Structure 1
Amino acid sequence: MTPPTSPASLFNPARIALYLLLVVAGVAVGMAGALVQGAWFPGGLLLVLLATTAFFYAGRRATGGPAGVLAAAAGWMLSFLLLSATRPEGDFIFAAGLGTYVFLLGGIVAAVMCATLQRLSEPPVPGARLGK
Structure 2
Amino acid sequence: MNPVNPSAPGTLPASRNVRVAWYAGLAVLGVLVGTAGALVQAAWLPGGLILALLATAALFYGGLRATGTQIGVAAGGAGWLIAVILLSFGRPEGDGAFGGGVGELLFLFGGMGIAVMCTTLSRLPRPTP
Decide: shared fold, TM above 0.5.
yes
* TM-score (norm. length: structure 1): 0.84
The answer to whether 1:111 aligns with 2:108 is no
In structure 2, the gaps of 5 or more residues are: 8-12
Please tell me whether the aligned partners of residues 53 and 107 of structure 2 are also in contact (alpha carbons under 8 angstroms).
yes
Shift of 1:60: 0.7
DSSP 3-state at the match of 2:123: coil
> Relative to 1, partners in 2 of residues 1:71 and 1:122: Cα closer, same or farther, differing over 3 Å?
closer
The aligned counterpart of 2:74 is 70
Aligned residue among 3, 6, 25 for 2:5: 3
Deviation at 1:121, TM superposition (A): 4.8
Shift, 1:118, TM fit: 0.8
Once the two structures are TM-superposed, the CA of residue 73 in structure 1 deviates from its matched residue by 0.3
TM (normalized to structure 2)? 0.86
1:97 paired residue among 86, 97, 101: 101
The structure with the larger Rg is 1
How far is the alpha carbon of 1:122 from its aligned partner? 6.3
RMSD: 2.2
Question: In the TM superposition, what are the counterparts of 1:4-43 in structure 2 within 5 Å?
Answer: 4-5=6-7, 12-43=16-47
Number of matched pairs = 122
* Aligned partners of 2:68 and 2:123 also within 8 Å: no
Answer yes or no: is 1:53 the counterpart of 2:57: yes
Deviations 1:29-82 (A, max 9, x none): 000001110100011101111111011000011111100000000000000011
Structure 1, unpaired ranges of 5+: 124-132
